Amino acid sequence: MGGTLWSERQWTSDHFAATRRSRLLAAGVPESRLEALFQLVDAASRDEMPVYLEVRSLLADCLARVGVSGVEPEAVRRAWSLPAVETVPLLPGASEVLAGIKELGLRCYVLSNAFVRVAVEYQEDFEAQGLAGYVDGYISSVDTLWRKPDRRIFEAALDLAGVLPERCVMIGNSEEKDVIPARALGMRTIRVAIEEELPETTAADVVTASLSEVPLLLAAAL
């Protein structure tokens, strides 16, 4: 998702932080512990995460470290997961690529490394943006516990789609987390470089700097 359909660079602002603080307070976090918890969770969300991550266990540890009891990690997870429609814009061409995939008669599954966002929340995001009709399913690393580039999250997506990898095209912005693991499983790949320069080298079958161009690339590959 981040860097492919919506920005990876616009999730941090004073407004977002204030919204999260108010949601954490509503979840039951005492105001006296709020800042310490916010800093711990915020730091964890910015760190390079392992390929296997149980985020609720991580949040439970954060709560314990700041001396908060009686607040469920799941309540903190939900508080931290801000609705995307209120916080981050779609990248240029995002709606066009989703519509174009559907017009080609193809199915579309969103596969995302996330910190707190579960599949049902991704669905709610797409519904709020009027795009849910273009997406057939959602796979979040918060649900699978495995994160890209681990093959198990890709296998979870393949199981949901019910197809063999050679029948799939992975569209993503990351060489390491999207292109290389997808190719290792036998998928075709399209790398999109929207928030970064076009790569000089890539293992992807095709590279583009325009999401709007992706349906044309898919049509040519059919």
Q: DSSP per residue over 55-79, as a string? A: HHHHHHHHHHHTT--S--HHHHHHH
Give the residue among 97, 80, 96, 93 at the shortest CA–CA distance from 43: 80
Residue ending a domain, among 51, 85, 119, is 85
77-119 pLDDT tens trace: 999 999 988 778 899 999 999 999 999 999 999 999 999 999 9
Answer yes or no: do 75 and 46 share one domain: yes
Res 173: pLDDT: 95
Does 5 reside within a domain?
no
Does 150 reside within a domain?
yes
Contact between 165 and 187 (Cβ < 8 Å) = yes
- The count of other CB atoms within 10 Å of the CB of residue 140 is 24
Residue ending a domain, among 65, 85, 105, is 85
8-61 pLDDT tens trace: 766 556 678 888 999 999 999 999 999 999 999 989 988 789 999 999 999 999
Does 163 reside within a domain?
yes
Residue 109 in tokens: 């599954």
Q: What is the mean pLDDT of residues 125-136?
A: 96
Domain that holds residue 57: 14-85
Res 16: pLDDT: 80
What is the helix (H) or strand (E) element at residue 109, kind and residue range? strand 109-112
Helix axes 94-103 and 214-221, enclosed angle (nearest 10): 30
The C-alpha angle 38, 42, 45, rounded to 5 degrees, equals 145
Answer yes or no: do 121 and 81 share one domain: no
CA dist 216 and 36 (Å) reads 49
Answer yes or no: do 159 and 203 share one domain: yes
Residue ending a domain, among 85, 105, 137, is 85
CA dist 5 and 89 (Å) reads 9
Number of domains into which the chain is organized? 2
CATH number at residue 185: 3.40.50.1000
Answer yes or no: do 48 and 131 share one domain: no
Answer yes or no: do 99 and 148 share one domain: yes
